[in-house]
Amino acid sequence: GQVAITGAGTYANPTQLGATDPTFTIQTNAAVLWPTFDHFVDSTSAATMLFRKSRNTTVGGHTVITNGDLLGALNFYGSDGTNWLLSAYIQAFGDGVPGTNDMPGKITFGTTSDGSSSANERLRLDNAGRLFLTGANNAFTTPFGLNSAANVDPVFAIQGTDTNSTMMALYS
């Protein structure tokens, strides 16, 4: 089911929270739409949006996620005149084996190339804090950024399409 709040503030197609496949829709034909999360409090906290994932099938239940589970996503679509097509995304995943008070994660960013109808991952920040950039071959083999282990991995590397073809590497 869906919940839609019209410009008049009325509800259309109300659904029960916690339903199997609920959708909350905000629609407008105004020039600008700014969903806003306000937080008025004299503290350092801020308004927050939570994305939570459990493998438990009971609402509110806890079952550990597994490595690679998608935890949340922001997807950006545009109309091609006929269909909604994905242009870009930001996704968060479990990135390692979780345990009690341990939840390793990674965040990825994807974009769709001109002439394509599907988005590809372009940038990744993994659970170790390494930043990976990708090109046309979508290989994430060499991190870009600082590495605390001197002479183990490069702190900066430019690599070709073959994993054995490092073109430049800098070590600390």
Note the pLDDT of residue 167: 61
Chain centre distance of CA 45: 23
List the pLDDT tens digit at each of the 172 positions of the chain: 455 555 565 555 544 455 555 566 666 667 767 777 778 889 998 888 888 999 998 888 999 999 999 999 999 999 999 999 999 999 999 999 999 999 999 999 999 999 998 999 989 999 998 888 775 555 665 565 544 444 456 556 666 555 555 566 666 5
CA distance 56 to 34: 34
CA distance 89 to 110: 5
Rounded to the nearest 10°, the torsion over CA 84, 88, 94, 96 is: 130
CA distance 43 to 67: 35
pTM above 0.85, yes or no: no
Reference 152, options 164, 137, 169, 166; nearest CA is 169
Reference 136, options 114, 108, 117, 161; nearest CA is 161
Note the pLDDT of residue 141: 58
The one-letter code for the residue type at 44 is: T
